[in-house]
Structure 1
Amino acid sequence: MTFDPAAILPDDLLARFRERAAVHDRENTFPDEDLAELKAAGYLSILVPAELGGAGLGLAEASVLQQRLAGAAPATALAVNMHLVWTGVAKVLADRGIPSLRFVQEGAVAGEVFAFGISEAGNDLVLFGSDTDAVPLPDGGYVFTGTKIFTSLAPVWTQLGLHGLDTTSPDGPKLVYAFVPRTAAVSTRDDWDTLGMRGTQSRTTELGGVVALPDKVVRRIDPGPSADPIVFGIFSVFELLLASVYTGIARRALELAVDAATRRTSKKTGQALSQDPDIRWRIAGMGIAYDALPLQVASLCADVDAEVDHGMRWFPLLSGVKHRAVTMAKHVVDEAMLVAGGSSYFTRNELSRLYRDVLAGMFHPSDPESAHSTAANALLGPPA
């Protein structure tokens, strides 16, 4: 059966999302209606196999859909991204013969909303370390205590995938990956008042001794750089779906720039700005910059789906494409603002919102420093 993104995310649905996006940005609220419509469309289980009740799509198809969604409502796309990361990791592991996240797949079909609880203030180790305490229980469960930041979907998630450090293990410290429910031991700060991506409501999460049951403890690994499947799964799906969101933002900015150049007329020449050689050059540069990214993202997504083994090359490939997508999108939005003129400076203008939303990309792992360090290590070896 031919994959048709418009059948899953039809134009009328995206039009509603785009209209609401301006409201949620202005009012700093979560897009509950968007999530409800996405749930009804089965979007939260697009990466779940058909035999479990999902759409059975691969990462490559999910990437195209996230680009399409981000073009209408970037914050909605970024928030849903974090749920899709976990269903994507479940798929990556299952494809490689590790069924430990089947409960995530079944939960997504049943209506669970999974949030991503990895980021911690000042922890530039990200997947390779944690400041959250993970204390083992006699039955194999764990108690997690600590603070997670940038927890998207904060008002609505039902299950939080997270990691913490067990320092009591007799064979040395272990990073523990697990899932915890929303209980009284978890509190969410109402602290999301940001420049852009306001609809994600990525608030700070306080873990006050929340328990992960034994069957929800999915991995215990050594801290530090690792080729463990859980690390690869998270890193690959996270980076590629992030790249997809920002590539989608760039596409929308390019569309708005073309529309503005066609509509606006020069007082000097009486012609549409689309005939101005400087404007044509600017838009051409935007198109050239944009065109490379959908192909790169699609290629790497296809490699993950096909279980291609790039070995340690995966890390510079993935951090690199995420970095390129964000810097490209920021460049394209910058240029679109100039094409559209002073009206784009008003907050009511869609480009103004995209301008602020796209800035968030620089703060997601891998940040520019990490991406360049990874590339340098791959090309030059580690520093002496």
Structure 2
Amino acid sequence: MAVREFDPFIRNEREEKLARYAEALASQIAETAHVYDESGAFPFEHFDLLRQEGYLKLTVPKQYGGDEISLYETLLVQERLARGDGSTALAVGWHLLTFLNLRSVRPWKEEVFARLCTAAVKEGKMLNIISSERETGNLARGGIPSTIAKRTSGGYMISGVKSFASLAPILDHFTITAYLEDEDKVAEFLITKNENVKVIESWNTIGMRSTGSHDIELNDVFVPEEALLSRLDDSHINRFVADSRAYSLEVPAVYLGIAWAARDFILDFAVSKYSRSFGGVIADIPHIRDKIGQIEILLKSSRYTLYAIAEKWENNPEHKDCFSDEVSMAKYLICNNAIRIVELAMRIAGGHALSKNHKLERLFRDVQCGPFHPPQDDMVIQQLADSALTKVKNKKGKTI
């Protein structure tokens, strides 16, 4: 009987059960991950499985029938699910982190939130925020949405085109950011699909090919007054930056899971692959062992970074707004380390890893997507530089 590998980040029996649960799901979706990667089709069967097994209610509050798992626990399950299929893990992750964020910040009217929670628990309805636009660029850099909300009798008429709308094929409702024309403000609205909401199948990328991140076109979509969920200004809680954006740690957890899958694959390959020229398995070749050692350093340091930050954040609730630098740093470090891990694995595997039917080729393409999630590398570097310099300037100012 195989001995289960010790994981220092599993702290108790509950986390052990969650880890095993996610691993079982990962092994099932892994069987067809390559099929959806090749076609670019949305993996509805994966989400049917996740719905049946209760994965879609993991972060929903207990008061509405969910499991209310913590941020730390979310990272544990997502890292493991991504070992089976990065695309599915990334896509479902937006749903998980949305409820994780909303249950903490509570920026909306409670009856609206309750209704969406109930839909997720009882019907498996998914939720995501669709914010990006091709025309405007990265709104995280301070842009104003080109999607316009115009006041009309009983509500608003909304028009615009959103991009990178992960889960688009499966969403019945989602939220967007739009420019409130008569108030000169940006607001978040709840959109329910109808004949004026069109999914444009534009997602055809090198990696994360089955996330269903298509464009969504809104053509004079009427929404009632209550669909305006919150105004993103100083008078309302901005859930997107609340709590140091710690909920976004779910994203690097996914890319770390992909890297972990590459690591496991190449270790098995190295101890099994016989080299005639060497006269033994390649795991005993010095330059192969060097690359494996580098992979271990990158993987272990990334995991320690991820879980240490999550644990510190959860254990210091009075300082949840003080971890912004650490959260951004983790995203930068882990996503870039993940790329390097897969690159090293491919160097060990050799030219065969470049083949379209090789698992590492898919993992290599998927992991390239990590740095493109906000905050991008340059933003993280600038943020940490600004933070460090501001602290020094403030300190000097106090001593003058």
Same fold (TM over 0.5): yes
Q: Residues of 2 paired with 1:346 and 1:372: CA distance? A: 35
Partner of 1:322: 331
Find the partner of 2:258 among 235, 249, 254.
249
Is 1:112 the counterpart of 2:125? The answer is yes
Tell me by how many angstroms 1:355 deviates. Answer: 0.4
Q: Residues of 1 paired with 2:348 and 2:311: CA distance? A: 35
Structure 1 pair 52–307 and aligned structure 2 pair: CA distance change class (3 A) = farther
Alignment partner of 1:160: what SS? strand
Letter in 2 for 1:154: A
Tell me by how many angstroms 1:238 deviates. Answer: 5.2
Q: Residues of 2 paired with 1:118 and 1:310: CA distance? A: 28
Partner of 2:8: none
Is 1:135 the counterpart of 2:150? The answer is yes
Find the partner of 1:16 among 28, 48, 73.
28
Is 1:331 the counterpart of 2:344? The answer is no
Q: Residues of 2 paired with 1:274 and 1:227: CA distance? A: 57
Letter in 2 for 1:208: N
Q: Residues of 1 paired with 2:212 and 2:200: CA distance? A: 10
Residues 115-169 of structure 1, C-alpha deviation per residue, up to 9 Å, x if partnerless?
3301112433328442221223454x43322111111112111111211111312
Is 1:157 the counterpart of 2:171? The answer is yes
Find the partner of 2:195 among 184, 187, 206.
184
Structure 1 pair 276–7 and aligned structure 2 pair: CA distance change class (3 A) = closer
Is 1:57 the counterpart of 2:69? The answer is yes
Partner of 1:362: 371
Matches within 5 A, 1:221-370: 221-222=232-233, 228-233=237-242, 236=245, 239-306=248-315, 308-310=317-319, 313-370=322-379
Structure 1 pair 186–352 and aligned structure 2 pair: CA distance change class (3 A) = same
Larger CA deviation: 258-267 vs 100-109: 100-109
Q: Residues of 1 paired with 2:243 and 2:32: CA distance? A: 30
Residues 236-292 of structure 1, C-alpha deviation per residue, up to 9 Å, x if partnerless?
255211011011111111111211111112223212111112111111111111112
Residues 56-99 of structure 1, C-alpha deviation per residue, up to 9 Å, x if partnerless?
211111111010010110110111112112111222214x9984
Percent of pairs identical after alignment?
Answer: 27
Q: Residues of 2 paired with 1:343 and 1:51: CA distance? A: 52
What is the root-mean-square deviation in Å for CA atoms of aligned residues?
2.5
Q: Residues of 1 paired with 2:280 and 2:338: CA distance? A: 29
Q: Residues of 2 paired with 1:57 and 1:144: CA distance? A: 35
Tell me by how many angstroms 1:180 deviates. Answer: 0.8
Alignment partner of 1:101: what SS? helix
Partner of 2:204: 193
The structure number with the bigger radius of gyration is 2
Alignment partner of 1:256: what SS? helix
Q: Residues of 1 paired with 2:115 and 2:246: CA distance? A: 18
Alignment partner of 2:280: what SS? coil
**TM-score if structure 1 supplies the norm length?**
0.90
Contact 1:53 1:109 in 2 (8 A): yes
Q: Residues of 2 paired with 1:233 and 1:214: CA distance? A: 25
Letter in 2 for 1:114: L
Partner of 2:140: 126
Tell me by how many angstroms 1:194 deviates. Answer: 1.1
Q: Residues of 1 paired with 2:150 and 2:21: CA distance? A: 43
| Structure 1 unaligned spans of 5+ | none
Structure 1 pair 316–35 and aligned structure 2 pair: CA distance change class (3 A) = same
**TM-score if structure 2 supplies the norm length?**
0.86
